[in-house]
Amino acid sequence: MGKVDRQYYIDWLRLMAVFLLFFFHTACIFHPWNDFYVKNDPASPLITYLFVWSVGEWHMSLFFLLAGASTYFALQKRSSTEYVKERFKRLLIPLIFGILLLIPPQSYLGLLNHSDYSQSFLAWLPNFFHMQTEDMSGFFLGGFTPGHLWFILHLFLYSLIVLPLFLFLRGEAGNRWTKRITSLLTKSPVLFLIFPTLLVPISKFPWVAGGNPLFYITFFIIGFILMSDQRLMDKIDDYRLLLLLLGVIPLAGSNILVGTDLWPSNLPEWVDNAVNEYRNAFVPWFLILALLAYGKRFLNFSNRFLIYFSEGAYPIYILHNTIIIIIAFFVVQWGTSVGVKYTVIIIPSFFVTVLIYDLLVKRTNITRFLFGMKSRPKTLDEPAS
């Protein structure tokens, strides 16, 4: 297996996506229309528009695309057997550990926040291992849920399901196929703009265990393909500003119109449907491609901050939501403003999460193993993986 240059911008984008989770999940506490483990009264439409509606349309798709991109580099230096073993260690072990240790407190506090339940955590704990069909999310009845670790569950399954395709694309025949597709896309760049029409029907597929599997596995595959031929990234870079505008303006514009009650209420149903389809399929496509282009252009470097947090991004992701829920459970009981509560939840949550990672997770090989980390720190020479 050959050595490849590390693509630092992939690490930066992944780190940005992890940091955004603090804003997103804290905002879910103030969401007026969706449920969550802990809810504040009153809710805040403004916080929802800023940090849920503006992020949720593309955020998880970015995670899966970056995972696909990283898989491309991983398979350049690993055999298929090594890759599968690494997926079990890096994904399945943290998933099981997290579900057993980190998710139960979220489910328990969700039950306390939504009811008059008064039993202790230990007395309640056996209930966590029962599925509540009325609350598959585990937000308010205290039943089983993978919580925010649904992403790891999906990624583990995608990695195994799509591996034969990736191995084919890595070979000579697959490489010839990729080059033909690349030539078509680079000669007819309008295909980049109309591709989301194929994502529209996929975006309507039912959610399973936290997400839309067809939609996300598509982005996972796209991430792999984009890294396989430099010409694709070069063409995306040529249209980076257009892609950014096609993503940002419709997303921000619709959020502002809805948030200020200026969205017309008497529009034909097909117009509302078209707007929703654009937000669900076109926005993530355009925004993610723009982020890749600008990231490659401006973020393809390393420094101490990236070295520290790129290693810690995964355990920080695993830890963050449990810390947010624990802190929020107490803060929402305060008699203060929504803005103060949001700030008081998000800032301590971030620092407590990083502190736990630094003091408890990264220090021993046992905890590193449980959180899907390597037994020794990554080096600057490793490709994103």
Nearest Cα to Cα of residue 144 among 209, 211, 216: 209
Residue 381 has pLDDT above 50, yes or no: no
134 vs 377, higher pLDDT? 134
Query: What pLDDT shows up at residue 83?
Result: 96
pLDDT exceeds 70 at position 1: no
Please give the full DSSP string across 87-114, using - where no structure is assigned: HIIIIIHHHHHHHHHTHHHHHHHHHHHH
* pLDDT at residue 244 greater than cutoff 50: yes
Whole-number pLDDT of residue 4: 56
Q: What is the pLDDT of residues 197-207, one digit of tens each?
A: 999 999 999 88
Percentage of the chain lying above the pLDDT 90 cut: 75
Residue 52 has pLDDT above 80, yes or no: yes
pLDDT at 155 over 70: yes
Number of domains the chain contains: 1
Average pLDDT, stretch 336-363? 97
Asked if the model's pLDDT at residue 384 lies above 70, the reply is no
Indicate if the pLDDT at residue 379 is higher than 70: no
**Position 149 pLDDT exceeds 90:** yes
At 191 the pLDDT is: 83
Q: Report the pLDDT value the prediction gives residue 3, as an integer from 0 to 100.
A: 54
Output the pLDDT for position 380: 45
The answer to whether residue 68 sits within a structural domain is yes
Q: What is the mean pLDDT of residues 230-251?
A: 93
User: Higher confidence at residue 213 or residue 377?
Assistant: 213
Going by pLDDT thresholds of 50, 70 and 90, the confidence category of residue 378 is low
Residue 182 lies in a domain: yes
**Within-domain flag for 381:** no
Q: What pTM was computed for the model?
A: 0.93
Give the position of tokens 């940002």: 248
Q: In the predicted model, what is the mean pLDDT of the chain?
A: 92
- 382 domain residue, yes or no: no
Does pLDDT of 140 surpass 50? Answer: yes
Whole-angstrom distance, CA of residue 124 vs CA of residue 322: 17
Task: Determine the Cα–Cα distance for residues 314 and 78; give it in Å rounded to an integer.
Answer: 20
Q: In this predicted structure, what is the pLDDT of residue 293?
A: 97
Instruction: Return the DSSP state at 147.
Output: G
376: in domain: no
In a domain, 95, yes or no: yes
Per residue in 268-306, pLDDT (tens digit) is 888 888 999 999 999 999 999 999 999 999 999 999 999
Alpha-carbon distance 126 to 143, whole Å? 9
The C-alpha torsion from 232 through 217 and 161 to 372, rounded to 10°, is 90
Average pLDDT of the segment spanning 219-239: 93
Which residues, including other chains, have CB under 8 Å from residue 162's CB and lie 6 or more apart? Answer: 217, 220, 221, 224
Full domain range(s) for residue 303: 8-132+141-370
How far from the centroid of its chain's Cα atoms is residue 210's Cα? 11
Output the pLDDT for position 133.
76
In a domain, 51, yes or no: yes
Residue 382 clears pLDDT 70, i.e. is over it: no
Residue 277 lies inside a defined structural domain of this protein:
yes
